Amino acid sequence: MLTPKVQLLLTGNELMTGDIVDSNSAMMAQVLKDIGLGIMRKVTVADDLALLVSEITYMASTSDILIINGGLGPTVDDLTAQALALAMDEELSEHPEALAHLTAWCKQRGNALNGPNLKQTILPSSCRIIANRSGSAVGFSVRYKDCDIYCTPGVPHELKVMLQEQIIPAISKKSPKNLIADITRLQVFGLGESSLQKMVDEKLAQWPADIDLGFRAGKPLLEVKLSINSERGLALKPLWQKKLADALGHHLIAEINEKPYSLAQHLINQLQQDNIKVTTAESCTGGLIASKLTEISGSSNCFEAGFVTYSNNMKTAMLNVSADLLTQKGAVSEEVVIAMAKGALLKSHADIAIAVSGVAGPSGGTEDKPVGTVWLAWGGINDIKTQCLLIPYKRNHFQQFVAEIGLDLLRRYQKNITSIPNYIIDNAFTTKR
């Protein structure tokens, strides 16, 4: 049995105008790679019926699997079902299963079914429905010219769920049985792609060819991926994964086989395990650290309160930071973040705190404290650590990165990891695509 030929057809005016960057096809490539399949060719066209029909006809005749992405929505420019029916010379008809899905979807939300919605139930007669538990439009699949065609929604999270739960298992079943696809991901923070590459070149020069090593830069966590397709690779894996983990040292956040965790999730897990409560005192991040913590389900067990003290007056009123101290040292200073952390601990009765104050820019910088300067203080009331960083990114990247650093500093504190990486040199936020 040969490895199936896979092609992608992406449709949407927004993909042709430069209004959005296509990230769906990278996501599809990644999940397909996990079952040992590559993508041979992808074609992107606007919402144009004639073009879609001609692409579908040609692509179906030159692939074993064709994934069509986009064009399932309720508006007139959503043409996938119509184009597929034309290509296959088949009728469009109301699909009972699609109608049932849409009716339930609307009912659950208290919405009335309207005409545009109903358009989403008019599908090629021979199609099989692919359930969508996170959106109104169902996916569907057909077999045409010996090719399995899967039609999928353009909304990234709907696509992702549908791929993981429905399409990948269906494709797997039809693919060669001897494919091994063993994937392990190492999550890394505070180290960038080029440093990683250099480290591997220097410390792991004998890396075996049977274990494919890939890097994926992310914000904030960089991922090192070990992919194995052979028995030989599987046998070598434990030794080399250990060597890699040792080389990564305290930059390594976790070794995982499943869904990656965020830094906030890692921290919340640790705090829950230790039965510890945390609080936040934020100036330049303006509530972002608190919101990253509370995004995690179960955070109420370890987070009761956060203080967003954006002005000097409010640092005094809410956290008892002395007005004299603010005048003498300035809001962006070691003394002030320590006072903010202490104030937050006393007011919230939490066990540990993180406090941040910095110059997010674009204005507000001085010669002493240029835009990008940030002071952080963290720890328990009798054991407060501090750090000053200069983070040369534009405002929202600065805020995001400072918030993630804050979470990592708390995670290290709670795990008794005393080392702190150089977050600034060559981190994931500075590397190119």
Q: Where in 218-277 is the site for a copy of itself (CB under 8 A)?
A: none
111: Cβ contacts below 8 Å, ≥ 6 apart: none
Bond before 220 cis per omega within 30 degrees: yes
Separation in Å, CA 174 to CA 27, 58, 170, 233, 250: 21, 22, 7, 24, 42
Distance CA 414, CA 132 (A): 40
We find the least distance from the C-beta atom of residue 29 to a copy of itself, in angstroms, to be 3
The span of 80-88, 91-99, 249-257, 294-302 binding a copy of itself (CB under 8 A) equals 294-302
Return the DSSP state at 107: H
Q: How far is CA 108 from the centre of its chain?
A: 28
DSSP characters over 51-62: HHHHHHHHHHHH
Q: Please, which residue, 43 or 417, has the CB nearer to a copy of itself?
A: 43
Distance CA 351, CA 83 (A): 61
Tell whether residue 363 is a contact of a copy of itself (CB under 8 A). Answer: yes
Q: Please, which residue, 42 or 250, has the CB nearer to a copy of itself?
A: 42
Tell whether residue 137 is a contact of a copy of itself (CB under 8 A). Answer: yes
Tell whether residue 140 is a contact of a copy of itself (CB under 8 A). Answer: no
- Interaction residues for a copy of itself, span 412-431 (CB under 8 A): 424-426, 430-431
Distance CA 299, CA 78 (A): 40
Strand duo 252-256 + 182-188: pairing: antiparallel
Contact pattern for a copy of itself over residues 59 through 98, marking x by CB under 8 A: -----------x-xxxxxx---------------------
One residue of 45, 83, 129, 263 binding a copy of itself per CB under 8 A: 45
Q: How far is CA 57 from the centre of its chain?
A: 35
We find the least distance from the C-beta atom of residue 188 to a copy of itself, in angstroms, to be 14
Tell whether residue 136 is a contact of a copy of itself (CB under 8 A). Answer: yes
Q: Please, which residue, 90 or 426, has the CB nearer to a copy of itself?
A: 426
Q: Please, which residue, 394 or 415, has the CB nearer to a copy of itself?
A: 394
Long-range CB pairs of 329-336 (<8 Å, 24+ gap) are 330/369, 331/283, 331/357, 332/284, 332/357, 332/358, 332/359, 332/369, 332/373, 332/374, 332/375, 333/357, 333/375, 334/375, 334/377, 334/386, 334/388, 336/375
Tell whether residue 111 is a contact of a copy of itself (CB under 8 A). Answer: yes
- Interaction residues for a copy of itself, span 4-43 (CB under 8 A): 13-14, 16-23, 25-30, 33, 38-43
Q: Please, which residue, 17 or 178, has the CB nearer to a copy of itself?
A: 17
Contact pattern for a copy of itself over residues 180 through 219, marking x by CB under 8 A: -------------xxxxxx--x------------xxxx--
Q: How far is CA 188 from the centre of its chain?
A: 14
We find the least distance from the C-beta atom of residue 290 to a copy of itself, in angstroms, to be 3
Distance CA 47, CA 71 (A): 7
Tell whether residue 117 is a contact of a copy of itself (CB under 8 A). Answer: yes
One residue of 61, 93, 114, 125 binding a copy of itself per CB under 8 A: 114
Strand duo 352-358 + 278-282: pairing: parallel
Bond before 362 cis per omega within 30 degrees: yes
Q: How many chain residues bind a copy of itself (CB under 8 A)?
A: 108
Query: What is the C-alpha end-to-end distance of the chain, expressed in Å?
Result: 36
Q: Please, which residue, 152 or 166, has the CB nearer to a copy of itself?
A: 152
We find the least distance from the C-beta atom of residue 416 to a copy of itself, in angstroms, to be 26
We find the least distance from the C-beta atom of residue 360 to a copy of itself, in angstroms, to be 8
77-88 in b/e form (b: 16+ CB < 10 A) is: ebbbbbbbbbbb
We find the least distance from the C-beta atom of residue 293 to a copy of itself, in angstroms, to be 7
We find the least distance from the C-beta atom of residue 222 to a copy of itself, in angstroms, to be 11
One residue of 35, 92, 99, 308 binding a copy of itself per CB under 8 A: 308
One residue of 103, 241, 272, 294 binding a copy of itself per CB under 8 A: 294
